[in-house]
Amino acid sequence: MSDILIRPYIAADRESVRQIACDTAFRGEPAEKFFQDRELLADLLTLYFTDYEPESSLVAETDGQVIGYLTGTKNETRSLKVIIYNILPRLAIKAIFRGTFLKGKNLKFLFNLAGSFFKGELKSPDCSRQYPAALHLNIKDGYRAGGTGRKLIEKYLDYLQENKVRGVHFGTISDKAAGFFTKLGFEVLFRNTRSYHLDILGQVVNYYIFGKKLL
Ligand SMILES: CC(C)(COP(=O)(O)OP(=O)(O)OC[C@H]1O[C@@H](n2cnc3c(N)ncnc32)[C@H](O)[C@@H]1OP(=O)(O)O)[C@@H](O)C(=O)NCCC(=O)NCCS
């Protein structure tokens, strides 16, 4: 693999980030396994980070091509307010016009998600007081296991420390990612199992919240 450059996100990276987000949305595999509507899913996964707090995100580039990203926020509570009150209402209207809720796969996923909600599987502790920042990290298939994820995390943690952020946390349903974050010194703050992908995987998934104190 050629040299990897880790640099701040710029507006010209927006489409690459959205594409990688969809290509890796199902535990590192393409979103189509559980969801049909890339445009809407890319909005859900990346819009806050690219359009409201772009200064907190990074990309990995090689040969002029973006091959991975870390989208972050210094304050998850603040980002959730924007997402809930500003982004989600717009996306709900967009989904209605696009017919997103009428597609079989999407209906099935929403139904499964509702099932997890009523079983109490989506409950988790609020870690945002001690660990205010959050992140999402994804590397394109074919470019993994080459040190890029580690470099993105290290640069992001430096950025958070420069900004006097006391900690960072995030959730994942990927056991592989859990191994990676454990290796990088993150602590498991919470763990449970969730059944919303049972129909696709034939088993429940482990859900982890990882955290790291920075100050
Ligand atoms: C998880 C992911 C971000 C890791 O990035 P990466 O570039 O593949 O990982 P790196 O090569 O930087 O690995 C860094 C270290 O972690 C170790 N590591 C990576 N995956 C591991 C695993 N599953 N278990 C244990 N150690 C692991 C590596 O061996 C390496 O150790 P070293 O520095 O001592 O050699 C990347 O593989 C990815 O995007 N996967 C798909 C999407 C995903 O799961 N995203 C995370 C969602 S939160």
Encode pLDDT of 99-135 as tens digits: 999 999 999 999 999 999 999 999 999 999 999 999 9
Question: Where are the domains positioned within the chain?
Answer: 5-213
Please indicate whether residue 176, judged by its CB atom, sits closer than 6 Å to ligand 1. Answer: yes
Using the mean position of ligand 1's atoms as its centre, give its distance from the Cα of residue 11 in Å. 26
Phi, psi of 211 (to 5 degrees): -145, 160
72-91 burial, b at 16+ Cβ within 10 Å, e below that, comes to bbbbbeebeebbeeebeeeb
Using the mean position of ligand 1's atoms as its centre, give its distance from the Cα of residue 147 in Å. 8
| Prediction pTM value | 0.97
Mean pLDDT of the chain: 97
Give the separation between CA 12 and CA 64, rounded to whole angstroms.
Answer: 12
Q: In the numeric block, which tokens belong to residue 204?
A: 């429940």
Pick the CATH number of 5-213 from 3.40.50.720, 3.40.630.30, 3.40.1190.20, 1.10.10.10: 3.40.630.30
Q: Could you identify the residue written with the tokens 């010194």?
A: 185
Encode pLDDT of 177-196 as tens digits: 999 999 999 999 999 999 99
Q: What is the dihedral of CA 26, 57, 180, 83, to 10 degrees?
A: -50
Query: Quick check: 73 and 132 in contact, CB under 8 A?
Result: no
Please report the atom of ligand 1 found closest to the CA of residue 179: 24
Please report the atom of ligand 1 found closest to the CA of residue 135: 48
Please indicate whether residue 30, judged by its CB atom, sits closer than 6 Å to ligand 1. Answer: no
Using the mean position of ligand 1's atoms as its centre, give its distance from the Cα of residue 180 in Å. 4
Encode pLDDT of 7-63 as tens digits: 999 999 999 999 999 999 999 999 999 999 999 999 999 999 999 999 999 999 999
Encode pLDDT of 133-165 as tens digits: 999 999 999 999 999 999 999 999 999 999 999
| pLDDT of residue 1 exceeding 70 | no
Please indicate whether residue 139, judged by its CB atom, sits closer than 6 Å to ligand 1. Answer: yes
Please indicate whether residue 148, judged by its CB atom, sits closer than 6 Å to ligand 1. Answer: yes
| pLDDT of residue 2 exceeding 80 | no
Please indicate whether residue 155, judged by its CB atom, sits closer than 6 Å to ligand 1. Answer: no
